[in-house]
Structure 1
Amino acid sequence: MAASGKKNNILKVLLIIVLIIGLVAAWLGYQAFMSPSIATSEDYFYVHTDEPYESVIKRIEDEGIVKNPTYFKYVAKSMDLQNGIKPGRYKLSKDLSNRRFIGNLRGGYQEAVPFRFQNLRLKENFAGALGKSFEADSTTFLNILNNETIAEKYGFNKDNFFSMFIPNTYEIYWNTKPEEIIDRFASEYKKFWNADRKAKAAALDMTPEQVSVLASIVKGEALHVDEMPEIAGLYINRLKRGMLLQADPTVIFANNDFTIRRVLNRHLTIDNPYNTYRYKGLPPGPIMMPSIASIDAVLNYNHHDYIYMCAKDDFSGYHNFAKTVAEHQINARKFQQALDARNIKK
């Protein structure tokens, strides 16, 4: 009887030990797989294309992405992450467990980049914005933007290729190949130039590319969107009459000096096809990235007889418009006096 009781006690102890071991194992399993794991305050973790698995694991540890790297490595091994990791931009949150994080890395469940751009002056600015937002660097994008063959593929040339990119917000995955990103913009450009816009361009005897070039000048002149159709009408009047556009923003572009606040005679002498004081018609390409508002302002321009304009002397950003040289000279004199009063010499 005593031996039997002793045996039962031993069994109870063994059961308790097994239970404790099971509870500890369950707790460790929960901590490793299911409990919140993210330690960093960073919003995203990036896995580069063709990045070695060991490099990814080391960065996760070195950058303090997870609370317990040992747990993470164990779960990664058990989920065979080494044979299934995918490049991308992965959202991090404090409630993210190792299991979910690794599942995202394995499944490629990344979050797209909401890429928004506007008010960009040069190709270099656009390439820089792309390089900051996506995996490929700015040099790669700039080479594409300056590539004549690629431009021709989409129906443009190197000078007017910049007008294919319609400012907006685009959802694009971070590791998308540069060529595919350009394809996406080309697709959006085709959607933007719908039948209605094409018909309005044709009524102006212009191609969409030419409308975009004129729209870039309108955008360069206008500080206020509500004045864009008026400015567009003025330049269309000059084009119809065979007059030089004489647009100051084109002169600034031609001189490649965007610090100019006062266009002087010496700026007008530059021999450059973008200098509309010397070359008649539209310049070869946009002087900046045209906005949707400026494109639509050209397509829906105000009909009037103005062929001259000058910034108002109150520096409001609006313009005085004129039909004759005499009227324009009065407006110009007022503005020049206002510049002198503020000691703006260049």
Structure 2
Amino acid sequence: MYLKKILWATAIIGLIVAAFFAYYVYKVLLKPNTAFNNEAAYVYIPSDATYEDVRKQLEPLLDDIASFDILAQKKQYISHIKAGKYAIKRGMSNNDIINSIRIHNLPVTVSFNNQGTLEKLAGRISKEIEADSISLLNAMQDDAFLAEHNFNQATALGMYLPNSYEFFWNTSAIKFRNRMLKEYQRFWTEDRIQKAHNLGLSPNQVITLASIVYEESKKPIEQPRIAGVYLNRLRIGMPLQADPTIKFAAYQLPEYKNTVIKRVLNVHKEIDSPYNTYTNLGLPPGLIAMPDLRAIDAVLNYEKHKFLYFVADASRLGYHKFAKTLTQHNKYASEYHRYLSSQGINR
């Protein structure tokens, strides 16, 4: 009888211990442990993060950080931190969370356009991935890299084709730059390279001309015609006489910093700069803006015509009037200048 009591007591104690252990395992391993109401929360773990850095991000998101610490120690996550962007979904257990932040690095979408300089582009990209703007700019301006791939400081911006791309958040500056080179090389298909060759232009020169076309007009329907005008001028040895290049040259000078030139005047056309296409023949040394892909293709698929001149159309703002003769052009130009004067735009 006494032995039976001992056996029963032992069994009961065993059941209590087993139940406690099961609850402990459930609490540490399987119990939902999120403290937010949204469907998901995101953590961004830097490349040099320690467990304490990760813990600080997780603590506001979890009901019980202590139980997470225990499992993180058991699963050796503490010494194997993985950089990246990770999702923690509402209702996840500690085990789910550790599995997520260990292996499910999420891509981020990086989009850019209208970045007129490498400095602006680096600043824009640094808001989307881990790499900071200084490391990005240093990678973009690396002379050895540029020379190896037929770029220079004036043409380097042309390697970055505006679009949307997927990257891991913890992408380094070097990896970002190298990926963009691959995207550039992918864009320049044999067909596009042949079309550039037929124009007597290199890919860099095509993008330089596209930057001028893009600054002249954001209307895709007009861009091939404008490209045709500039290509006609190049063929006959006529200066491009592109007002956007004059503005670009002016903005490099201290007296024009933080100003907006709404009307190109004769004084602007006298600026001493290789980007002054009134005083220099041919294309400028490099881009004056970041053209979109349509502007690049507008150059490669330019409209064949005999126009040599164009000017903004005062009756249809955003569009242009095209002329084959200087006499006709001067008439259109006078109309537009009268419009500018009527709007009080004198500089």
TM (norm. structure 2) is 0.90
Distance 1:22 1:202, change over 3 A: same
SS of equivalent residue, structure 1 residue 212: helix
Query: How far apart are 1:16 and its partner, in Å?
Result: 5.5
CA distance in 2, matches of 1:222, 1:290: 11
Match of 1:69 in 2: 65
Secondary structure at the counterpart of residue 294 of structure 1: helix
- 2:260 corresponds to which residue? 259
Taking the aligned partners of 1:282 and 1:123, their CA distance within structure 2 comes to 20
Residues 83 and 327 from structure 1, CA distance in 2 versus in 1: closer, same or farther, beyond 3 angstroms? same
Match in the other structure for 1:249: 244
**1:194 alignment counterpart:** 189
**How far apart are the structure 1 equivalents of 2:85 and 2:112?**
20
Residue 281 of structure 1 is matched in structure 2 by 282
Aligned to 1:11: 8
Q: Residue in 2 aligned with 1:335?
A: 336
TM-score normalised according to structure 1 size: 0.90
Of residues 143, 148, 153, the one that matches 2:143 is 148
Q: Output aligned runs, 1:69-88, within 5 Å.
A: 69-88=65-84
| Amino acid in structure 2 at the alignment position of 1:72 | F
Mapped contact 1:223–1:318 kept (Cα < 8 A): no
Partners of 2:34 and 2:61 within 8 A in 1: yes
User: 2:166 & 2:199 partners in 1: Cα distance?
Assistant: 33
Out of 120, 124, 130, the position equivalent to 2:115 is: 120
Structure 1 position 204, deviation (Å): 0.2
Aligned partners of 1:296 and 1:43: how far apart in 2?
A: 41
SS in structure 2 opposite 1:104?
A: helix
CA contact (8 A) 2:87 2:101 kept: no
* One-letter identity of the residue aligned with 1:275: N
Distance 1:254 1:15 in 2: 90
CA deviations over 1:221-243 (Å, ceiling 9, x no partner) = 11211111011101101111111
CA change 1:270–1:34 in 2 (3 A) is farther
- Rounded to whole Å, the distance in 2 between the matches of 1:17 and 1:320 is 95
Q: Does 1:268 align with 2:269?
A: yes
Contact 1:145/1:158 (<8 A) preserved: no
Alignment partners' CA distance in 2, 1:65 and 1:83: 21
Deviation, structure 1 residue 128: 0.8
* Equivalent position of 1:311 in the other structure: 312
| Alpha-carbon distance between aligned partners in 1 of 2:316 and 2:238, rounded to the nearest angstrom | 27
For residue 128 of structure 2, what is the aligned residue in structure 1?
133
SS in 2 for 1:92: strand
Question: Deviation of residue 11 (structure 1)?
Answer: 2.7
State the shift of 1:216 in Å.
0.7
Deviates more, 1:162-171 or 1:18-27: 18-27
Alignment of 1:85-104 (within 5 A): 85-104=81-100
Residue correspondence of structure 1 range 174-253 to structure 2 within 5 A: 174-253=169-248
Query: Which SS does the other structure have where 1:263 is aligned?
Result: coil
Flag structure 1 segments of 5+ consecutive residues without an equivalent. Answer: none
Residue type matched to 1:110 in 2?
A: N
Structure 1 residues 49-68: Cα deviation after superposition (integer angstroms, max 9, x where no partner): 1222233223432xx13222
Q: CA deviation at 1:210?
A: 0.5
Q: How many residues align?
A: 339
Aligned pair in 2 of structure 1 residues 34, 51: CA closer, same or farther (>3 Å)? same
Q: Partner of 1:60 in structure 2? A: 58
Cα distance, 1:192 vs structure 2: 0.8
Change in CA separation of 1:25 and 1:226 when aligned onto 2, cut-off 3 Å: farther
Residues 276 and 31 of structure 1, relative CA distance in 2, 3 Å threshold: farther
In the other structure, the counterpart of 1:165 is: 160
C-alpha distance in 1 between matches for 2:269 and 2:27: 72
After superposition, the Cα gap between the structure-2 partners of 1:342 and 1:21, relative to the gap in structure 1 and judged at 3 Å, is: farther
Q: Which moved more, 1:93-102 or 1:64-73?
A: 93-102
Range with greater deviation from structure 2 (150-159 or 298-307): 150-159
Structure 2 CA distance for partners of 1:345 and 1:24, relative to 1, 3 Å: farther
Q: CA deviation at 1:291?
A: 1.5
* 1:76 CA displacement: 0.7
Q: Secondary structure at the match of 1:225?
A: coil
- Alpha-carbon RMSD: 2.2
Percent of aligned positions that are identical = 39
What letter matches 1:46 in structure 2? Y
Check whether the contact 2:50–2:81 (CA below 8 A) recurs between aligned residues. Answer: no
In 1, distance between residues paired with 2:93 and 2:148? 46
1:66 & 1:135 partners in 2: Cα distance? 24
8 Å Cα contact 2:43/2:57 also seen in 1:
no
Alpha-carbon spacing, 1:43–1:269, altered in 2? closer, same or farther (3 Å): farther
Query: Amino acid of the residue matched to residue 288 of structure 2?
Result: I
